[in-house]
Structure 1
């Protein structure tokens, strides 16, 4: 299992975003039905949605918002990208961790790897600029996917290029670059890319939960950040 392998090496990973636990605050963000503040008018307007995230961070003094792994998110109703054919089950289960912050926030490689693929997935609600890295630990290959990046990041990449551990290789994109979302990073760990390039589902149907969560273990094993996150009402 990739998750066990990542746990074994968890102390060696470089921070993915600048974060000092001793003085930076992390806000645990909820994008399920339980968050009644996220009304349809906010969700369907990227400017209002971005203002909501910014205000939540500002009001709590948090550097980033974080969360979302295996979260059943109603927010995907904002985009037809997450709907399959009529009368079919929509995609709602989130397969990565999101880090919400400012556009331009730097993204560093947690461990060395090769550029597997990249793409500009520009549909409304999609990843926007996306990079997939291929890694190997103890002879076992796996991938990390970084979504909602800035376009200049993928303009300079070549497949097969090596990215060193701790190398700055991407930034949080603006809504125009990131699939029309408030600025954030979607980080996902993937065992089997299923021959996909520059893209892999970051959200699945609830009925496919077991398959996808097995293939996409919790990225916080790489990040090590969730232990510092606190919900707004706990302060």
Structure 2
């Protein structure tokens, strides 16, 4: 495990200390981290952390990973969660960002949140896939553009992260947590993705999709290293499969 530097976000009193008291005991009891290239994880400055996503427990596991590496994690979270008593207050106080159903963001909050990130030198965790992967083999599926939009609009790095093992803790689509025996979660941190070729361009759909493809390829390569196998040549496209299932697909 990479040593946390003194003066990191985790050493400063904040509402995250309350969250850590609630979450850390459970994760430490049930998860053993094996981190590769932890030194690549930025210890200061604003950036977007972009992990793969295949279990409902992923945000907790990745949030604790960030905390152990010295950074206070902030997520794009479902807006409905913010209405839960106590939890909603903690989410707001810790700077989590509400996202309404379907991926739309409430008001102008993501823009304001991104500006705060840069101003305060904070990080945000954005799952580029937007939801749990639907790929049968749990490989990263086609990504959405939220992560690269924040990175490009704010001029901050986007760091790819792959992990493997949370499916043993909580299988995809399951609500049942398997705490014992303790599970090993493999993590690999990638180099910040070079998005220079997209900076200065009009951030239209084509540009954002192209940049998102670069991010998804980086995450997939990291996951291939962790799993010791190759991902399918063609990335799973949820929209394409939905069209086939409803008979609306056109070749």
Please state which band the TM-score falls in when normalised by the shorter chain. under 0.3
Structure exhibiting the larger radius of gyration computed from Cα positions: 2
Compare the two structures and name the one with the higher helix fraction.
2
The two structures have a TM-score, normalised by structure 2, of 0.27
| TM-score normalised by structure 1 residue count | 0.28
